[in-house]
Amino acid sequence: MSDRVVPPTARQRRRPTKQGVVLSEELIVETALRLIEEHGADALSVRRLGRALGADPSSLYRYFRHTDDLMLAIADELIGRTLRTWRPTGDWRADLRDLGLRMHAGALAHPRAAVLSSFRVTGRVYEIQAVETLLGVLRGAGFPDAEAVRIYHAFVDQALSFGALDAAGAALPRAAREAETGVWRATYARLPADTHPNIAATAHHLVADMRRSSYPAALDLLLSAAELRLTEIRGRPEA
Amino acid sequence: MSDRVVPPTARQRRRPTKQGVVLSEELIVETALRLIEEHGADALSVRRLGRALGADPSSLYRYFRHTDDLMLAIADELIGRTLRTWRPTGDWRADLRDLGLRMHAGALAHPRAAVLSSFRVTGRVYEIQAVETLLGVLRGAGFPDAEAVRIYHAFVDQALSFGALDAAGAALPRAAREAETGVWRATYARLPADTHPNIAATAHHLVADMRRSSYPAALDLLLSAAELRLTEIRGRPEA
DNA sequence: GACCTTATGACAACACCGTTGACCTGTTAA
DNA sequence: TTAACAGGTCAACGGTGTTGTCATAAGGTC
The rounded distance, in Å, linking the Cα atoms of A92 and A235 is 19
The pLDDT tens digits for A91-104 are 999 999 999 999 99
Which residue of chain A has the CA closest to B131? A199
Where exactly does CATH 1.10.10.60 map onto chain B? Answer: 8-65
Q: What is the mean pLDDT of residues B20-37?
A: 90
What top-level class would CATH report for the domain A87-235? mainly alpha
How many Å lie between the alpha carbon of A199 and the closest alpha carbon of chain B?
6
Per-residue confidence (pLDDT) for residue A13, from 0 to 100? 61
The pLDDT tens digits for B193-224 are 999 999 999 999 999 999 899 999 999 999 99
- CA distance to A157, A162, B112, B151, B195, per residue, from A99 (Å): 13, 14, 30, 22, 22
Per-residue confidence (pLDDT) for residue B39, from 0 to 100? 85
Please check the confidence at residue A169 and state whether its pLDDT lies above 60: yes
How many Å lie between the alpha carbon of A54 and the closest alpha carbon of chain B?
30
Per-residue confidence (pLDDT) for residue B239, from 0 to 100? 45
Per-residue confidence (pLDDT) for residue B238, from 0 to 100? 56
pLDDT confidence tier of residue B64, bands split at 50, 70 and 90: very high
Which residue of chain A has the CA closest to B134? A198
Please check the confidence at residue A239 and state whether its pLDDT lies above 70: no
A39-53, A151-165, A179-193 — most confident range: A151-165
Nucleotide nearest to A2 (CA to C1'): D19
A11-20, A63-72, B129-138 — most confident range: B129-138
Of B121, B149, B162, the CB nearest to A202: B149
First to last CA, chain A: 59
**Is domain B8-65 annotated with CATH 1.10.10.60?**
yes
Per-residue confidence (pLDDT) for residue B10, from 0 to 100? 64
Q: Determine if strand C comes within 7 Å of the CB of A14.
A: yes
Residues of chain A contacting B172 with CB distance shorter than 8 Å: 119
Contact predicate B122/B172, CB 8 Å: no
Which nucleotides in chain D lie less than 7 Å from some protein C-beta? 5-11, 15-20, 24-28
Per-residue confidence (pLDDT) for residue A172, from 0 to 100? 73
Of residues B100 and A183, which shows the higher confidence score?
B100
Where exactly does CATH 1.10.10.60 map onto chain A? Answer: 18-64
- Those residues whose C-beta lies under 8 Å from the C-beta of residue A130, and which sit 6 or more positions away, are A79, A83
Chain A interface mutation, best of B117, B149, B206, highest count of A Cβ atoms under 10 Å: B149
Please check the confidence at residue B176 and state whether its pLDDT lies above 80: no
Per-residue confidence (pLDDT) for residue B1, from 0 to 100? 43
Give the CATH fold of the A18-64 domain.
Arc Repressor Mutant, subunit A (1.10.10)
Q: Determine if strand C comes within 7 Å of the CB of B16.
A: yes
Residue B135, CB half-sphere, CA atoms under 13 Å: how many? 23
Per-residue confidence (pLDDT) for residue A51, from 0 to 100? 94
Contact assignment for A221 to B225 by CB distance below 8 Å: yes
Residues of chain B contacting A214 with CB distance shorter than 8 Å: 150, 153-154, 156-158
Q: What percent of chain A clears pLDDT 90, i.e. is strictly above it?
A: 50
Contact predicate A188/B123, CB 8 Å: yes
Q: Determine if strand C comes within 7 Å of the CB of A236.
A: no
* CA-to-C1' span, B57 to C24 (A): 17
- CA distance to A87, A107, B139, per residue, from A166 (Å): 25, 8, 26
Which nucleotides in chain C lie less than 7 Å from some protein C-beta? 6-12, 16-22, 25-29
The rounded distance, in Å, linking the Cα atoms of A154 and A233 is 18
Return the C-alpha torsion angle B154, A72, B167, B128, nearest 10: 40
Give the number of other CB atoms < 10 A from CB of residue B127: 23
- When the pLDDT of each residue in chain B is averaged and rounded to a whole number, the result is 88
